[in-house]
Chain A
Amino acid sequence: MELNKFILAIIALEPEKVGGCGAPIFYAVNKEEQDKIATTMARITEGVVHDLENGTYIIVKH
């Protein structure tokens, strides 16, 4: 089984909820900025934005 889904980036509002170093983490000051970063990142990486429902977005390449 090959791995074909990758977390490309994490866009977080609360720094304490993310950590490790698997993917680059971007901190946003508010939801608006988070949405903006997420859209831009998704377009650039051709990934999809997923919502973890705790104020954290991840961008995943499918």
Chain B
Amino acid sequence: MFAAPFLEAMLTGVVTGVLIRYYMLKRDYRQYPSYPHGTTIHLAMAFIAAVIGSVAVPALMEKEFTAVTFLALAATQFREVRDMERMMLKNLDRANLVSRGVEYIEGIARVFEARNYLVMFTSLLVGGATYWGNVFYGLLVAFIAFLISRRLMGGKIVGEIARVRQGKVHFKGPNLFVEDIHFMNLGMESVKEKYLERALGVIIEPLDDNARATLANIGQRMAIAHDVATLLGLYKDVDTAEFTPILRRDLDTGRIGMIIVPIERDIEFLIEAVKRVPVLESAYRAPLKTNIGSKASD
């Protein structure tokens, strides 16, 4: 049963599958810091996915149909990966000064599940190609799969759907504004002074109606606050809730204003950080793609 082409197909499939997962994990880093053990868990998962994927086609050709049922088994397993990631991130989120938000966590968990499927399909195709042809065909398919998964991985970022620029932070009485967007009421003089001294304001202008609807999503705004706070540091602790970064929407124009008190007071990188925040899959809206939405917009 373990003929040479069978082993060859499995080996090529498994190796390429795990390598592709490892490549995707590296790209993951900013979105979800994977600790050494997190990496191990996901590589182990990828290995299982790759093994199952790569045996599927040879098994079918050898008329070992039971082997294919393992694919279904694997799908259940990977749904558990999603649950595991979701649970863990939710638990960890309580320890964040600026929480990620449920939508962001859901997005990350979904990505983890999806990437395991990508690995499985890669291994399936590579294993099949190797078994049907030889290792050369396998590697060719692996390269194509690599290009496809790289494309599938790259989602949109905020910088592609909106213009980000600096906004002036100022007070009217106790009320805090960035340009004409109202944020909150702050009583203490000392807090106001700190804001005027250290805070940075940013205005995010959506490029079209799709972007306007996407940026209105609260989960998307929480994701922006979380990512920017992670990248620039936050002048805040649990007992100074007034320094929490806030994003508010200008009702008239759909612009989003953001106020943050960072540790690194550098507007250039703040804007860059905002631009690089991923657009959440669950927040993405496209009213312009419908008849009603596009007609209503003009």
Residues of A within 8 A of B (CB): 35, 38-39, 42-44, 46-51, 53, 57-58, 61-62
**Which residues of B (217-241) have their CB < 8 Å from a CB of A?**
238-241
**Residues of the B chain whose Cβ atoms lie less than 8 Å from the Cβ of A53:** 173-174
- Please report the C-alpha to C-alpha distance between residue A49 and residue B238 in the assembled complex, in whole angstroms: 14
Encoded as 1 (CB less than 8 Å from any A CB) or 0, chain B from 241 to 278 comes to 11010000000000000000000000000000000000
Chain B residue total in the interface (Cβ 8 A): 16
Q: How far is the CB of B121 from chain A (nearest CB, A)?
A: 42
Smallest CB-CB separation from B246: which chain A residue? A62
Taking a contact as CB atoms under 8 Å apart, the answer to whether A49 and B188 are in contact is yes
Residue B15 interfacial (CB < 8 Å): no
**Residues of the B chain whose Cβ atoms lie less than 8 Å from the Cβ of A62:** 241, 244
- Please report the C-alpha to C-alpha distance between residue A48 and residue B187 in the assembled complex, in whole angstroms: 8
Q: How far is the CB of A41 from chain B (nearest CB, A)?
A: 11
Taking a contact as CB atoms under 8 Å apart, the answer to whether A50 and B186 are in contact is yes
Residue B207 interfacial (CB < 8 Å): no
Taking a contact as CB atoms under 8 Å apart, the answer to whether A50 and B241 are in contact is no
Taking a contact as CB atoms under 8 Å apart, the answer to whether A49 and B186 are in contact is yes
Chain A contact residues: over half helix, strand or loop, or mixed? mixed
23 contacts between A and B (CB under 8 A): A35-B189, A35-B190, A38-B187, A38-B188, A39-B190, A42-B188, A42-B241, A42-B242, A43-B239, A44-B239, A46-B239, A48-B184, A49-B186, A49-B188, A50-B174, A50-B184, A50-B185, A51-B174, A51-B185, A51-B187, A53-B173, A53-B174, A62-B241
**Residues of the A chain whose Cβ atoms lie less than 8 Å from the Cβ of B184:** 48, 50
**Residues of the B chain whose Cβ atoms lie less than 8 Å from the Cβ of A42:** 188, 239, 241-242
Encoded as 1 (CB less than 8 Å from any A CB) or 0, chain B from 148 to 159 comes to 000000000000
Residue B191 interfacial (CB < 8 Å): yes
Smallest CB-CB separation from A56: which chain B residue? B187
**Residues of the B chain whose Cβ atoms lie less than 8 Å from the Cβ of A39:** 188, 190
- Please report the C-alpha to C-alpha distance between residue A62 and residue B184 in the assembled complex, in whole angstroms: 12
**Residues of the B chain whose Cβ atoms lie less than 8 Å from the Cβ of A43:** 239-240
Taking a contact as CB atoms under 8 Å apart, the answer to whether B186 and A51 are in contact is yes
Taking a contact as CB atoms under 8 Å apart, the answer to whether B241 and A48 are in contact is yes
Most buried by A among B186, B188, B240: B188
Closest 4 CB pairs of A and B: A51-B187, A51-B174, A49-B187, A50-B185
**Residues of the B chain whose Cβ atoms lie less than 8 Å from the Cβ of A61:** 241
| Residue in B187, B190, B238, B240 whose beta carbon sits within 8 Å of that of A57 in the complex | B187
**Residues of the A chain whose Cβ atoms lie less than 8 Å from the Cβ of B186:** 48-51
Most buried by A among B186, B189, B241, B244: B241
**Residues of the B chain whose Cβ atoms lie less than 8 Å from the Cβ of A47:** 241
- Please report the C-alpha to C-alpha distance between residue A53 and residue B185 in the assembled complex, in whole angstroms: 10
Smallest CB-CB separation from A31: which chain B residue? B189
Most buried by A among B173, B184, B187, B190: B187
